[in-house]
Structure 1
Amino acid sequence: MEGIMTSDKVAIVTGASSGIGEATARRLRAMGYTVYAAARRVERMAPMAEIGIRPVGVDVTDDESMVGFVERVIAESGRVDVLVNNAGYGSYGAVEDVPLHEARRQFEVNVFGLARLSQLVLPHMRRQGSGRIINISSIGGKIYEPLGGWYHATKFAVEGLSDSMRMELAPFGIDVVVIEPGAIATEWSGVAGRHLLETSGQGPYAKQAARLATFFTADPDGMASPPSVIADAVAKVVTARRPRTRYAVGRGAKPILAARRILPDRAFDRIMNITLAALSRQAARRTAGQGQPATNGA
């Protein structure tokens, strides 16, 4: 069913100025959707307007911004069929080191922005008797790693919130689907690496931070998948008669989640430490071969 033209359908994609959001907005537009691409960096979305996507400046931490956005979509198009909650970022650092205002901001973007936009579109989806909310989570909503406590907490929250929403919205004909990306080649790793070094690059966690930052700032053996794989998954969700509740997508996603289901916590801890150390060494060798500092988070 993938690729069916649906010119009467309307989709919202957040975090659409680059990476997964941009690829998803373009894919939905190619399928015939009226697409509203939401992000703070409107200027970066100008090329999408040339293919009929409607870029809108939206801050998912600002309620007035989100309310005005959804009101505009309804005023112009009269409906919302698909909401792709993609806006999010990774702010890494030891739980001890991360200021609580930064921890709260990460929840505001990754969890409460997602929840608020869902609240705003749901009355319209219920009135239609249909709709699909697609929450871009992460394999990080099922697994964990050192120095990622606040980020993983937000993604665990997205998973639980999505499960409850799926059950309460099913009677209204609304599907809630979670996409769990693995390693994807986007700006995310660079942002996470910078936050990590700024927060825990000095002090008792510096050794761990340097190792993890090395992994973030390189792509050992081409590990990351392109953002298009997530756009492909979204296309499957919107065209499926009955979509799955979860899609693990991207290189490494399925085997990592399988290992988490099977292994006891302590065993998974050891596997994660061994894997991160090995990948960081690979990344360091690769980065050194390119003549760049191995822990450069810029």
Structure 2
Amino acid sequence: MPRFVLITGCSSGIGLAAARALAAAGLTAIASARRLEDVTRLQREGLLAVQLDLNDEASIEAGAREALQLAGGRLYGLFNNGAYGQPGAIEDLPTSALRAQFETNLFGWHHLIRQVLPSMLAAGEGRIVQNSSVLGLVAMKYRGAYNASKFALEGYTDTLRLELRGSGVAVSLIEPGPIDTRFRANARAAFLHHLGSAQSRHEANYRLTLARLEKEGPSGRFTLPSEACVPPLLHALTSRRPRHRYGVTLPTKVFAILRRLLPSRWLDALLAKSA
């Protein structure tokens, strides 16, 4: 029997790479995207695809229903991947910006899980994989909204894993560091939308932030392509003993160790140097 996996955020980047790779592992991807034109493009590529906007509960419900229909009523897996980053100092962020960040990066994921989990529980098996970040492990300046959403996701996912213990549904986190995707372009748009005209004591740092977000190509020497997240995803979906966490990129693995070993003052001094 085919095993169907619903993936969010497939218009580009990690989601698209994952949707393309699942067939080789004997899984059938159901890709999803917010915009109809992206769904059409995915379908032209030969992928099963549905429209699903993580900011809209009605769209989440409709997309989940369509995915379940395509899967014959039973989804084996869910890869929650669709997200974005809202740059800006916490003191400058309007509450609406923080609310929007959580709506996409956490609340939408929660609503989708509630739509598809019953079919997994009824089957007695399933996999839920959540795409977190190194910024769910450590905090960096001017990324407070994103930090907060990913720290919340880590706690949410750990709790979900405990509550599903013994149900046959396994839950894993993927924690990428710098990955070459459209993330920076989307973050730049979010910055300009909420903070583009703001007067701030952080103005000089914001100029550096915009320059970093406008830079073409990899953001640094440790940046990996989107495909780097595919092997841990496949392991989480297919292994008899999936891991709770999969670190991707060297920075994630280093900071996971430093967070455990260093006093918080030392870690703060190191993180404060980040751009």
Query: Quick check: 1:140–1:156 contact (8 Å CA) kept in 2?
Result: yes
Aligned CA distance change for structure 1 residues 134 and 98 (closer, same or farther; 3 Å) = same
Match of 1:85 in 2: 80
Counterpart amino acid of residue 249 in structure 1: V
Match of 1:122 in 2: 117
Per-residue deviation at 1:258?
1.5
**TM-score calculated relative to the size of structure 2:** 0.91
Structure 1's unaligned 5+ residue stretches are 1-6, 277-298
Query: Quick check: 2:50–2:66 contact (8 Å CA) kept in 1?
Result: no
Query: Quick check: 2:140–2:274 contact (8 Å CA) kept in 1?
Result: no
Match of 2:149 in 1: 154
Per-residue deviation at 1:93?
0.7
Match of 1:36 among 8, 30, 35: 30
Counterpart amino acid of residue 201 in structure 2: P
Query: Quick check: 1:93–1:195 contact (8 Å CA) kept in 2?
Result: no
Per-residue deviation at 1:20?
0.5
Query: Quick check: 1:197–1:209 contact (8 Å CA) kept in 2?
Result: no
Distance 2:207 2:263 in 1: 27
Per-residue deviation at 1:15?
0.5
Structure 2's unaligned 5+ residue stretches are none
Per-residue deviation at 1:197?
5.7
Distance 1:47 1:109 in 2: 22
Per-residue deviation at 1:207?
2.0
Distance 2:65 2:107 in 1: 19
- SS of the residue corresponding to residue 96 of structure 1 reads helix
Match of 1:49 in 2: 43
Match of 2:108 in 1: 113
Structure 2 residue 63 is matched with structure 1 residue 64: no
Match of 2:170 in 1: 175
Structure 2 residue 265 is matched with structure 1 residue 266: yes
Deviations 1:249-272 (A, max 9, x none): 024220122122222222112112
- SS of the residue corresponding to residue 88 of structure 2 reads coil
Distance 1:150 1:208 in 2: 17
Match of 1:240 in 2: 239
Counterpart amino acid of residue 230 in structure 2: A
Counterpart amino acid of residue 174 in structure 1: V
Deviations 1:190-224 (A, max 9, x none): 22244346627742011222233334443355431
Per-residue deviation at 1:142?
0.9
Per-residue deviation at 1:45?
4.4
Number of residue pairs matched by the alignment: 270
- SS of the residue corresponding to residue 180 of structure 2 reads coil
Distance 1:158 1:29 in 2: 28
- SS of the residue corresponding to residue 170 of structure 2 reads strand
**TM-score calculated relative to the size of structure 1:** 0.84
Query: Quick check: 1:42–1:55 contact (8 Å CA) kept in 2?
Result: no
Per-residue deviation at 1:104?
0.5
Larger Rg over CA atoms? 1
Match of 1:132 in 2: 127
Distance 1:64 1:126 in 2: 23
Query: Quick check: 2:4–2:76 contact (8 Å CA) kept in 1?
Result: yes
Structure 2 residue 194 is matched with structure 1 residue 210: no
Deviations 1:24-47 (A, max 9, x none): 111113333222111112323444
Deviating more after overlay: 194-203 vs 141-150: 194-203
